[in-house]
Amino acid sequence: MLNVADEFNAITEHFSPRVIAMANGQYFKLAKFKGEFPFHSHADEDEFFLVHRGEFTMCYRDREVVLKAGDFHVVPRGVEHRPRATEEAWVMFVEPAATRHTGDAVTEFTKSIAQQISHLA
Protein backbone atom coordinates (compact mmCIF):
# COMPACT_ATOMS: atom_id res chain seq x y z
CA MET A 1 0.00 0.00 0.00
CA LEU A 2 1.12 3.51 -0.68
CA ASN A 3 -1.72 5.53 0.82
CA VAL A 4 -1.85 6.56 4.46
CA ALA A 5 -5.63 6.08 4.77
CA ASP A 6 -5.27 2.49 3.51
CA GLU A 7 -2.43 1.92 5.96
CA PHE A 8 -4.45 3.34 8.85
CA ASN A 9 -7.37 1.12 7.93
CA ALA A 10 -5.11 -1.92 8.32
CA ILE A 11 -4.37 -1.03 11.97
CA THR A 12 -6.55 -2.90 14.45
CA GLU A 13 -4.98 -2.04 17.80
CA HIS A 14 -4.42 1.24 19.65
CA PHE A 15 -0.88 2.53 20.24
CA SER A 16 0.54 -0.16 17.98
CA PRO A 17 2.93 1.51 15.50
CA ARG A 18 2.93 0.42 11.86
CA VAL A 19 6.04 1.29 9.85
CA ILE A 20 5.09 2.52 6.37
CA ALA A 21 8.46 3.70 5.05
CA MET A 22 12.12 4.18 5.89
CA ALA A 23 14.38 6.96 4.63
CA ASN A 24 17.76 8.09 5.92
CA GLY A 25 17.57 5.79 8.92
CA GLN A 26 14.21 7.22 9.98
CA TYR A 27 11.06 5.16 10.26
CA PHE A 28 7.78 6.73 9.14
CA LYS A 29 5.09 5.20 11.35
CA LEU A 30 1.34 5.36 11.73
CA ALA A 31 -0.64 4.62 14.86
CA LYS A 32 -4.15 4.97 16.16
CA PHE A 33 -4.04 6.66 19.55
CA LYS A 34 -6.79 6.09 22.09
CA GLY A 35 -6.42 6.28 25.84
CA GLU A 36 -3.35 7.32 27.75
CA PHE A 37 0.15 6.11 26.95
CA PRO A 38 2.75 5.82 29.74
CA PHE A 39 5.23 8.66 30.35
CA HIS A 40 8.55 7.94 28.67
CA SER A 41 11.47 9.65 26.97
CA HIS A 42 14.11 8.91 24.36
CA ALA A 43 17.56 10.15 25.35
CA ASP A 44 18.93 10.63 21.84
CA GLU A 45 15.92 10.82 19.55
CA ASP A 46 13.47 13.55 18.59
CA GLU A 47 9.97 12.55 17.49
CA PHE A 48 7.95 14.37 14.85
CA PHE A 49 4.14 14.00 15.03
CA LEU A 50 1.49 14.94 12.45
CA VAL A 51 -2.23 14.42 13.10
CA HIS A 52 -4.05 12.82 10.19
CA ARG A 53 -7.51 12.57 11.76
CA GLY A 54 -9.04 13.40 15.13
CA GLU A 55 -7.04 15.04 17.91
CA PHE A 56 -4.84 14.13 20.82
CA THR A 57 -2.97 15.84 23.61
CA MET A 58 0.80 15.59 24.05
CA CYS A 59 1.31 15.72 27.80
CA TYR A 60 4.56 16.89 29.33
CA ARG A 61 5.30 17.01 33.06
CA ASP A 62 4.61 20.77 33.09
CA ARG A 63 2.30 21.47 30.14
CA GLU A 64 -0.02 19.98 27.56
CA VAL A 65 -0.20 20.58 23.80
CA VAL A 66 -3.48 19.87 22.02
CA LEU A 67 -2.95 18.65 18.44
CA LYS A 68 -5.77 18.55 15.88
CA ALA A 69 -5.92 17.29 12.30
CA GLY A 70 -3.14 18.91 10.29
CA ASP A 71 -1.20 20.01 13.37
CA PHE A 72 2.42 18.94 13.75
CA HIS A 73 4.68 18.87 16.77
CA VAL A 74 8.22 17.79 17.64
CA VAL A 75 8.99 16.18 21.00
CA PRO A 76 12.64 17.01 21.67
CA ARG A 77 15.00 14.25 22.72
CA GLY A 78 15.27 13.60 26.43
CA VAL A 79 11.95 15.19 27.39
CA GLU A 80 9.35 13.06 29.18
CA HIS A 81 6.04 12.93 27.38
CA ARG A 82 2.96 10.86 26.80
CA PRO A 83 0.14 11.12 24.28
CA ARG A 84 -3.46 11.03 25.47
CA ALA A 85 -6.52 10.71 23.24
CA THR A 86 -10.13 10.75 24.44
CA GLU A 87 -11.41 9.70 21.03
CA GLU A 88 -9.41 7.72 18.51
CA ALA A 89 -6.81 9.83 16.69
CA TRP A 90 -4.86 8.80 13.56
CA VAL A 91 -1.28 9.98 13.84
CA MET A 92 1.85 9.82 11.69
CA PHE A 93 5.17 10.05 13.46
CA VAL A 94 8.78 9.94 12.39
CA GLU A 95 11.72 8.79 14.48
CA PRO A 96 15.06 7.02 14.05
CA ALA A 97 14.78 3.33 13.22
CA ALA A 98 16.43 2.54 16.56
CA THR A 99 13.80 4.32 18.66
CA ARG A 100 11.78 2.22 21.08
CA HIS A 101 8.33 3.80 21.10
CA THR A 102 7.91 3.38 24.85
CA GLY A 103 11.43 4.68 25.48
CA ASP A 104 13.34 2.94 28.27
CA ALA A 105 10.04 1.84 29.80
CA VAL A 106 8.80 -1.63 28.85
CA THR A 107 5.03 -1.69 29.31
CA GLU A 108 1.94 -3.47 28.09
CA PHE A 109 2.10 -1.14 25.06
CA THR A 110 5.65 -2.04 24.05
CA LYS A 111 5.91 -3.43 20.50
CA SER A 112 9.19 -4.65 19.09
CA ILE A 113 10.41 -3.26 15.78
CA ALA A 114 9.79 -6.73 14.33
CA GLN A 115 6.13 -6.39 15.30
CA GLN A 116 5.96 -2.88 13.84
CA ILE A 117 7.30 -3.98 10.44
CA SER A 118 5.80 -7.47 10.30
CA HIS A 119 3.34 -6.47 7.52
CA LEU A 120 6.27 -5.57 5.25
CA ALA A 121 7.69 -9.11 5.30
Closest CB 7 distance from a copy of itself, rounded Å:
9
Cα distances (Å, whole numbers) of residue 25 to 35, 49, 58: 29, 17, 25
Judged by CB under 8 A, the number of residues near a copy of itself is 27
Closest CB 25 distance from a copy of itself, rounded Å:
8
Cβ within 8 Å of residue 103, ≥6 positions away? 40, 41, 42
Q: Which is nearer to a copy of itself, 36 or 71 (CB)?
A: 71
Quick one: which of 29, 45, 58, 103 contacts a copy of itself (CB under 8 A)? 45
Q: Which one, of 33, 21, 14, lies nearest residue 119 by Cα?
A: 21
Sign of CA dihedral 41, 39, 108, 3: negative
Q: Which amino acid is at 69?
A: A
Q: Under rule CB under 8 A, which residues in 57-96 are in contact with a copy of itself? A: 67-68, 70-74, 92, 94-96
Q: Which residues bind to a copy of itself, rule: CB under 8 A?
A: 2-5, 20-24, 26, 28, 45-48, 50, 67-68, 70-74, 92, 94-96
